Structure 1
Amino acid sequence: MINAQSKIFKDVSTALATIRRWQEEGDTIVFTNGCFDILHLGHVDYLEKARHLGNKLVLGLNTDASISRLKGSERPLQDEMSRARVMASLLFVDMVILFAEDTPYELIAVVKPDILVKGDDYAIENIVGHDIVQKNGGTVQTIALVKGYSTTNIVEKIKQQI
């Protein structure tokens, strides 16, 4: 029986054993990343589409410290283990790896996914890690986002109603 907690890794070296096993078994590894501070329809749609590009979806999740540096001291709204547990509970997310850097570049270099995915608000040449994935023979793709859904928009809407 798989539980959400078993899909969460704080240590990339432990996660790598599972990823390498998947690769040896012929699975296509898809990688994406983000903060996922408030899970919303846009996230669910995006992650579901990402998972359909391969056999396993590995999600790099920014730690609390990383989010605070990127988005300011009022973020994240939820702590990293809460966010990780929510993300790992999604049936189309196979693994969640926490990373403390501002970008997932180092994580991508170690994971070496077959497919790197971000939303279509990014140009492929601006996606962190595109060079690593392409150098290793992988592909970089964008996925159309559901318009009107973002954590920032949700936070602003809540603030307006207070």
Structure 2
Amino acid sequence: MRYPGGKAALAGFFGDVIDRLAMSDAVYVEPYAGGVGAGLSLLRQDRIQELVINDIDPAVHSFWRSVTQQPDEFIHRVISTPLDVDEWRHQKAIYREADETDVMALGFAFFYLNRTNRSGILNAGPIGGMNQTGNYKIDARFNRDQLAEPIVNIELSRGRGKGRIR
């Protein structure tokens, strides 16, 4: 995720605190999820046994719920969803509607806009502009394989007993 104010750089500090306190079976609770960089790093390093992801923003929460509970469907959308302005408009409408009853649709719309909007800003327009006349196009930050890989890695980590995500 492209997310301003991410806490990934704090993973080392949090890990050191966990070690100094000799905590076993540590649970890391992330109330402001965003990219969950610190929590995912701690989980991959086996420094925590459980990662609890939450966010007050329904779109962010829906994204993480979709990625952790339906990774195959999410990856399918990453691989198959068109990268053009018509699809961008469709995803923008889903995001604006903010229908929390369709967690996958809202979570994916959030992700799609984060990757296709200028600077990842959800209220910005698409990279390259509506007419796609800019130096970069809407797909500039949407490398499908690179975006699917972290989702696969999260699921694989869970399968190797590297802790639980909820």
- Which TM-score applies when normalising by structure 2? 0.26
- Which TM-score applies when normalising by structure 1? 0.26
For CA contacts below 8 A with separation 6 or more, give which structure has more relative contact order.
Answer: 1
Higher normalized helix content (fraction of residues): 2
Higher normalized strand content (fraction of residues): 1
Larger radius of gyration: 2
